[in-house]
Amino acid sequence: MAIKIEMLRCYVAVAELGNLNDAASRLGRTPSAVSMSLKQLTEHLGAPLFESDRKNRLTTLGQLVLTEARAGTVHFDRCIDSIVKLTQARSGMVRIGAVPSVTTAILPDVVQGFLRTRPDVVIQVRDMDSATVQHEIEMGRIDIGIGSCRRPTGTLRRVALFSEPFGVICAVEHPLAKLTEPLTWQELARHPMISNASGDVIENAAFRDIDEAANLRIRNTASVLGMVRAGVGVTVLPRLALEGLGPGLLFVPLADATARRQVEILTRAKSEMAPVASAFETAVVDGIERARAAGRIIDG
């Protein structure tokens, strides 16, 4: 018969307490059941662990086995605890790739609430444009992506979060800041444009001409806003970017109602998500609903 973890657990209890009754009480078992476990362990080892039937003095072998049995039961308990935490989404790692506006405006509240109830979870967040989000999901390098999917494939599972319009970001001193009507593409074409990755989802031909003619192209949103704030040019970003603009910048609405993006959660369609990743996805959806209820996200 193989040595079982319960045999070691019974032995540790008896060795530490010095009698069967107290050990049985600690373990929640009967004294006869504890005695049987000790008998099976002793028979398997082929040598006595106690110097007498009173169980209050260990043999030399018994002392050595006690050290190993303690370590073994502690390791086993930690192993089971880790497995349970993984199963219940209370530990593990979640790799997130999200567009910058979501990372800035939505994820802080979501992450804070998630870690409050799951302090053993590690969350890795990376800023990236929508095309990179889709690519990283397809390559399996992130668990959850949040962005706009331009070219859906069968490898992706998509969960719609919200839809929002694009607008032009300019410095408060810029002439466009004085407009009282939504901005047309023709008017935008008269001003230096800073191209950024967010605008890649806008398919309007007039905007594509403006974007492709831009002399300055920057992928990082923070760098783009720095250039705009300095008066180098203007750029086009989604409305959610309003929360991260800071002083000195304005959001000017566009006249083209089709210039908008659909933000989605992207995951791999044919791969089962780890429990902790699935729990985080639910937290993101709940976070979007809270932001919508608070008026921070206005669909349409």
pLDDT digits (tens, 9 = 90+) for 137-182: 999 999 999 999 877 777 899 999 999 999 999 999 999 999 999 9
Confidence of residue 226 (pLDDT cuts 50, 70, 90): very high
Averaged pLDDT, 91-110: 93
CB under 8 Å to 158, separation ≥6 — which residues? 149, 152, 264, 265, 266
DSSP β-bridge partners for residue 193: 234
In this structure, the answer to whether residues 77 and 203 fall within a common structural domain is no
Model confidence, pTM: 0.74
Number of domains observed in the structure of the chain: 3
Q: Do 98 and 157 belong together in one domain? A: yes
Indicate whether 43 and 178 sit together in one domain.
Answer: no
Q: Would you state the structure tokens that stand for residue 98, as one six-digit string?
A: 């999200």
User: Residue 300 falls within a domain, yes or no?
Assistant: no
Q: Are residues 280 and 158 in the same domain?
A: yes
Beta-bridged to residue 264, according to DSSP, are 147, 160
Q: How sure is the predictor about 255, in pLDDT bands with cuts at 50, 70 and 90?
A: very high
Average pLDDT over residues 127-142: 93
Q: Residue 39: give its domain's CATH number.
A: 1.10.10.10
Regarding whether 95 and 56 lie in a shared domain, the answer is no
Say how many C-beta atoms besides its own lie within 10 A of residue 231's C-beta.
13
**What confidence tens digit (pLDDT) does each residue in 28-68 have?**
999 999 999 999 999 999 999 998 888 888 999 999 999 99
Residues linked to residue 123 through DSSP beta bridges, in sequence order: 94
Whether 19 and 80 map to the same domain: the answer is yes
Assess if residue 205 is contained within a domain. Answer: yes
Classify residue 110: in a domain, yes or no: yes
Q: Is residue 298 part of a domain?
A: no
3-state helix, strand, coil in the chain (%, to 5): 50, 20, 30
If one compares 126 and 246, the residue with the highest pLDDT of the two is: 126
Higher local confidence (pLDDT), 271 or 75 = 75
Residues 104, 35, single domain; the answer is: no
**Domain end: 87, 117, 149, which one?**
87
214 or 85, which is more confident: 214
Evaluate if residue 299 carries a pLDDT over 80: no
Q: Is 204's pLDDT higher than 90?
A: yes
End residue of a domain, out of 32, 59, 87: 87
CA-atom Rg of the chain in angstroms: 31
Q: Does residue 162 sit in helix, strand or coil?
A: strand
**Does position 242 have pLDDT exceeding 80, yes or no?**
no
Round the average pLDDT of the chain to a whole number and report it.
91
Residue 206 has pLDDT above 80, yes or no: yes
Domain that holds residue 151: 91-162+261-293
144 and 273, same domain (yes or no) = yes
170 shares a domain with 155? no
pLDDT of residue 1 exceeding 70 = no
| Whether the Cβ atoms of residue 252 and residue 179 lie closer than 8 Å to each other | yes
- Whether 286 is in a domain gets the answer yes
DSSP codes, 41-104 = HHHHHTS-SBSSTT--SB-HHHHHHHHHHHHHHHHHHHHHHHHHHHHTTSEEEEEEEE-HHHHH
Q: Are residues 42 and 83 in the same domain?
A: yes
pLDDT at 148: 92
**Length of the chain measured in residues:** 300
Distance separating alpha carbons of residues 261 and 37, to the nearest angstrom: 66
Give domain status of residue 299, yes or no: no
* Secondary structure (3-state) at 125: strand
pLDDT tens figures, 262-280: 999 999 988 888 899 999 9
Q: What is the CATH number of the domain that holds 121?
A: 3.40.190.10
Backbone region of residue 49 per phi and psi (left: phi > 0; alpha: psi in -120 to 50; beta: other values): alpha
Are 130 and 253 part of one and the same domain? no
pLDDT value, residue 300: 63
Residue 22 lies in a domain: yes
Which of 87, 116, 141 marks a domain boundary? 87
Nearest Cα neighbor of 160 from 150, 152, 168, 148 is 148
- Please tell me whether residues 58 and 14 are part of one structural domain: yes
What pLDDT sits at residue 254?
96
